[in-house]
Chain A
Amino acid sequence: MDNKIIDIKNVTKIYKIGNINVKALNGIDLEIKSGEFLSIMGPSGSGKSTLMNILGCLDTPTSGSYLLEDEDVSKLNDNQLAEIRNKKVGFVFQTFNLLSRTNITGNVELPLIYSKGKKLKSRKDLINKVIGSVGLLEWVRHRPNELSGGQRQRVAIARALVNDPAIILADEPTGNLDSRTGEEIMAIFQNLNTQGKTILFVTHEIDLARHAGRIIYLKDGIITGEEIIKDPIDALKRLEDMPKLEDKINSLGENALL
């Protein structure tokens, strides 16, 4: 697993706001290997979001090169980028970004609608498979607003997985969740990573970042540091130590009865 899945060289991004040029990225070099679990950390204004957008092919760099699976995606047009996003990138957002008026199946199906080929029959199987893998099979007919935050994020993960992308880009996926549910989501990512998925994880919580094998630190549009985590936090172990809310309530209830 030594092959580079992402190779970014000297990437800059300059925004024009009125007459002022704002340098959001100031020469980024980054290599990511296939099957890696990488955390990207940085305070707001560090260029974290800009880097995310470029990594996710939502935007192109002003200069520099970006090879995604050996394909230069730094100079593609909107439609070519859309195709790359569809095939190679799976997004998981902080705010879930599910279609609120479409049921779970419809949401997970979405990337398939925009990709060519795939017969209807195999499509259904595929959708059920990924929904099953995040444990939501009994919820397929429900709409996102009928689910809890953790469940919604699992739907988003299922959607990210359905086209079997090269990278999964998670932008503060636990930001809107309580710590236990967040840990459950991290467990899913770790599990996916052990299955060989490349995961890019953006966060500003060092504790969450340490679930990954490597952390890069971003400040003022440049990478200021890198840390290899020898012994990443195991989310499943953490969960065992964390009290379950319902257990707590149950125990309180028993006490109250006494």
Chain B
Amino acid sequence: MKRILENIKIAFKSLGLNKLRSFLTMLGIIIGVGSVVAVMSIGEGAEASINENIQSMGTNVITITPGREQVFTGGGEVNVEAAPGQGRVFIRTFDEDADEEFTEEEDEEIVAGELYLEDVEALKKETILLDEVIPLLSSMSSFSYMSWSGNVSVTATTEDYLDFAGYELEKGNFFTTDDVSNLSNVVILGYNIANDYFGKTNPIGETVKIDRKNFKVTGILKSVGYTFGMSPDNSIYIPITMAQNKLYGIDTVNQIMAKVESEEVMDDAIIEAKAALRKEHQILPGESSDFEISSSAQLLEMASTVTDIMIILLSSIAAISLLVGGIGIMNIMFVSVTERTREIGIRKAIGAKNRDVLIQFLTESIVLSLSGGIIGIGLAGLITGVLGAFTTLSSPITASPVIMALSFSTAIGLIFGIFPAMRAARLNPIDSLRHE
């Protein structure tokens, strides 16, 4: 133990004699460790915030979107029938020039179905496991108030949305059942929109234009933060009937979301919802559905898979910097061994064993690399701190990347230090003493 401390002391001393060189050598490790730790922390933070968002909505949420169903792997037994490809319908199109021959390329799958408000009603009526069902119709539309204008994301939905999403109102009221059935020109503003367009003016009761139509502001949401990279704070909310009939002239919706009584009956609820919708859409047994149902658990899984892949990708790029840093250490240690051949000779003449010299130089490279690692963690703290100050992404540095970084940099010091240290240890004392 005393010997180790002595070696560490010697290492710091000799590194301190070449401060600039030691620092530059460390830089590779500092940058490598800094970026690995920062990436991992940011990734963990992002994953946590996604999870939090999904969970704040509830893990008992299902989302129905138009489109052919796909088999989710690992997402539970969602698909009760219809393997992919089953029920495929070939549309035969005649190629005029090719004389009634049709080629493979012209085979098309059946067009994705649509979702309607009637589907919402059907789901409400026909299911017992779904508690709340809401339609969503989202798009970007022009938005203006007085002389300010811009494009904002418009979410058209029903009066149940507020409760469903768990948002709260800062001011005013959300639109009502009557507003939805009467196609009222009312709009609820996200927190940021209200601030951006109105500043200190109270927006309640003011008239704004959405796609050049007048709407009256009746409420403002409290700030929510990010959900799936989009912020509800930057959206506005209008009755879905209004959007369909007056704004866009369509009768479809983008998606339907529903809450399931409890997570335990999630699989049953999906089966039930599926049956209800298939019945509503008059899909024959054996044909595949023209909609997709996914649970929040699946979303959670997908989100975490995506972030995991991002983390792995980014950290492996950062890890290359660690490798380069390690090579830098090896290089400088070789230089150091050559420079200090005489010192090694003296030490050996005086009684240092090969092992003593080996440990001395190995300690030096580990101290170099580990110091770089510690500074790198500090750097990562700075990066995530700055990022946290300017964005809503909070990514505290957790133990696991720190432990990983520390053990990694120790290992780098060891691996890249061993060859120079071995060269030092093997030096012949007689020749080394003669070295100039």
List residues of chain A with CB under 8 Å of any chain B CB. 53, 56, 58-59, 78-79, 82-83, 85-87, 91, 93, 97-99, 101-102, 110-111, 113-115, 120, 159, 163
Q: How many A-B residue pairs have CB under 8 A?
A: 56
B351 in contact with A101 (CB, 8 Å): no
A85 in contact with B355 (CB, 8 Å): no
Q: Which residue of B lies closest to A171 (CB)?
A: B433
A82 in contact with B430 (CB, 8 Å): no
Which residues of the other chain, B, contact A93 by a CB distance below 8 angstroms?
433
Q: Which of B130-138, B183-191, B308-316, B340-348 contacts A (4 or more CB under 8 A)?
A: B340-348
Q: A99 to B17, alpha carbons, bound, how many Å?
A: 13
Check B352 for interface membership: any CB of A closer than 8 A. Answer: yes
Q: A115 to B348, alpha carbons, bound, how many Å?
A: 12
Expressed in whole angstroms, the minimum distance between the Cβ of B431 and any Cβ of chain A is: 10
Which residues of the other chain, B, contact A58 by a CB distance below 8 angstroms?
349, 429-430
Return the CB mask of B341-366 against A: 1 if under 8 Å, else 0: 01101111111111110000000000
List residues of chain B with CB under 8 Å of any chain A CB. 2, 6, 13-14, 17, 342-343, 345-356, 429-430, 433
Q: A86 to B353, alpha carbons, bound, how many Å?
A: 10
Q: Considering the complex of A and B, which 4 residue pairs feature the smallest CB-CB distances, nearest first?
A: A86-B351, A114-B351, A82-B353, A79-B353
B430 in contact with A101 (CB, 8 Å): no
Q: A99 to B340, alpha carbons, bound, how many Å?
A: 10
Q: A101 to B348, alpha carbons, bound, how many Å?
A: 17
B17 in contact with A97 (CB, 8 Å): no
B430 in contact with A110 (CB, 8 Å): no
A85 in contact with B350 (CB, 8 Å): yes
Q: A188 to B351, alpha carbons, bound, how many Å?
A: 24
Which residues of the other chain, A, contact B346 by a CB distance below 8 angstroms?
97-99, 110
Expressed in whole angstroms, the minimum distance between the Cβ of A93 and any Cβ of chain B is: 7
Expressed in whole angstroms, the minimum distance between the Cβ of B432 and any Cβ of chain A is: 10
- 26 pairs, CB–CB < 8 Å, chain A vs chain B: A53-B430, A58-B429, A78-B354, A79-B353, A79-B354, A82-B351, A82-B353, A82-B356, A83-B351, A83-B353, A85-B349, A86-B350, A86-B351, A97-B346, A97-B349, A98-B346, A101-B13, A101-B14, A110-B346, A110-B347, A110-B350, A114-B350, A114-B352, A114-B356, A115-B351, A159-B350
Partner of B348, one of A82, A99, A102: A82
Q: Which residue of A lies closest to B349 (CB)?
A: A91
Which residues of the other chain, B, contact A120 by a CB distance below 8 angstroms?
2
Which residues of the other chain, A, contact B351 by a CB distance below 8 angstroms?
82-83, 85-87, 111, 114-115, 163
Expressed in whole angstroms, the minimum distance between the Cβ of A183 and any Cβ of chain B is: 26
Q: Which residue of B lies closest to A160 (CB)?
A: B350
Q: A93 to B345, alpha carbons, bound, how many Å?
A: 12
B342 in contact with A79 (CB, 8 Å): no
Expressed in whole angstroms, the minimum distance between the Cβ of B390 and any Cβ of chain A is: 46
Q: A91 to B352, alpha carbons, bound, how many Å?
A: 14
Q: A159 to B350, alpha carbons, bound, how many Å?
A: 9
Which residues of the other chain, B, contact A113 by a CB distance below 8 angstroms?
6
Q: Which residue of A lies closest to B433 (CB)?
A: A97
Which residues of the other chain, A, contact B433 by a CB distance below 8 angstroms?
93, 97
Expressed in whole angstroms, the minimum distance between the Cβ of B352 and any Cβ of chain A is: 5
Q: A114 to B14, alpha carbons, bound, how many Å?
A: 18
Which residues of the other chain, B, contact A115 by a CB distance below 8 angstroms?
351
Known: A79-B353, A87-B351, A111-B350. A97 touches B342 (CB 8 A): yes
Which residues of the other chain, B, contact A99 by a CB distance below 8 angstroms?
343, 346
Q: A83 to B352, alpha carbons, bound, how many Å?
A: 8
Which residues of the other chain, A, contact B17 by a CB distance below 8 angstroms?
101
Q: A191 to B42, alpha carbons, bound, how many Å?
A: 72
Additional 10 contacts, C-beta under 8 A, given A58-B349, A85-B349, A113-B6:
A78-B354, A79-B353, A82-B348, A86-B351, A91-B350, A97-B346, A101-B14, A111-B351, A115-B351, A163-B351
Q: A159 to B347, alpha carbons, bound, how many Å?
A: 12
Expressed in whole angstroms, the minimum distance between the Cβ of A91 and any Cβ of chain B is: 6
